[in-house]
């Protein structure tokens, strides 16, 4: 069992976007550069997050990505499901109705107890992820990470974010 690598990148990106000012956006290429990732591949995950209404995208020059809602309303579960898909990790192949001794399909209305137990465990996993909001991740990061790393991130964001206030705004040198 393995979660796809994109999950780590997606959460980190979302955490960065949560630190933008107001309606500003950050281009996908900046996100890729900041994390040392290939832009082409990261964009795929950002698209998935956009499709899931977690991010918003603004096309055109001066465009980019930003959160679609407040960080308090975005859970890790939202992000994981957007990237990984909504299928449960345990997939019951109805092994019980194979082999000799198989009955008609009507005999299997009650779900297999093993399936029930596995999905219950998965619900517990999802519940913890659903409780963890992006806002907690961000404040945890600002409190625990090396101050130099935090400062660099801030500067990087300030340097690449796009103010997005309807029209122009002079770029200071």
69 in contact with DNA (CB under 7 A): no
CA distance 134 to 137: 5
43 in contact with DNA (CB under 7 A): yes
Among 2, 3, 32, smallest CA distance to 160 is for 32
Task: Output the smallest distance, CB 113 to ligand FES, in A.
Answer: 7
71 in contact with DNA (CB under 7 A): no
Name the residues that contact a second copy, by CB under 8 A. Answer: 1-5, 7-9, 11-12, 15, 33-37, 76, 84, 87, 89-93, 95-96, 98-103, 107-108, 110, 113-114, 117-118, 120-122, 124-129, 132, 136-137, 140-141, 144-146, 148-149, 152-153, 156
Task: Output the smallest distance, CB 1 to ligand FES, in A.
Answer: 16
CA distance 18 to 81: 19
Task: Output the smallest distance, CB 129 to a second copy, in A.
Answer: 5
| Contact in structure between 71 and 18 (CB atoms under 8 Å) | yes
| Contact in structure between 76 and 83 (CB atoms under 8 Å) | no
CA distance 73 to 134: 8
Scan for tokens 């964009």, then name that residue. Answer: 43
Task: Output the smallest distance, CB 20 to DNA, in A.
Answer: 12
40 in contact with DNA (CB under 7 A): yes
């Amino acid at each position: 069992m393995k979660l796809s690598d994109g999950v780590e990148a997606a959460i980190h990106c979302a955490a960065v976007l949560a630190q933008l000012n107001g309606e500003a956006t950050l281009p996908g290429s900046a996100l890729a550069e900041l994390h040392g990732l290939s832009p082409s591949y990261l964009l795929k995950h950002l698209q998935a997050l956009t499709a899931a209404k977690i991010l918003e995208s603004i096309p055109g020059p001066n465009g980019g990505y930003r959160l679609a809602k407040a960080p308090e309303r975005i859970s890790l579960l939202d992000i994981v499901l957007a990237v990984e898909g909504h299928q449960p990790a345990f997939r019951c192949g109805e092994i019980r109705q194979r082999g000799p001794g198989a009955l008609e399909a009507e005999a299997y209305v009650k779900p297999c107890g093993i399936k029930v137990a596995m999905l219950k465990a998965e619900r517990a996993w999802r519940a913890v992820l659903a409780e963890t909001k992006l806002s907690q991740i961000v404040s945890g990061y600002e409190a625990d990470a090396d101050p130099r790393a935090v400062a660099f991130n801030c500067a990087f964001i300030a340097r690449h974010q796009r103010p997005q206030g309807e029209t122009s705004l002079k770029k200071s040198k």
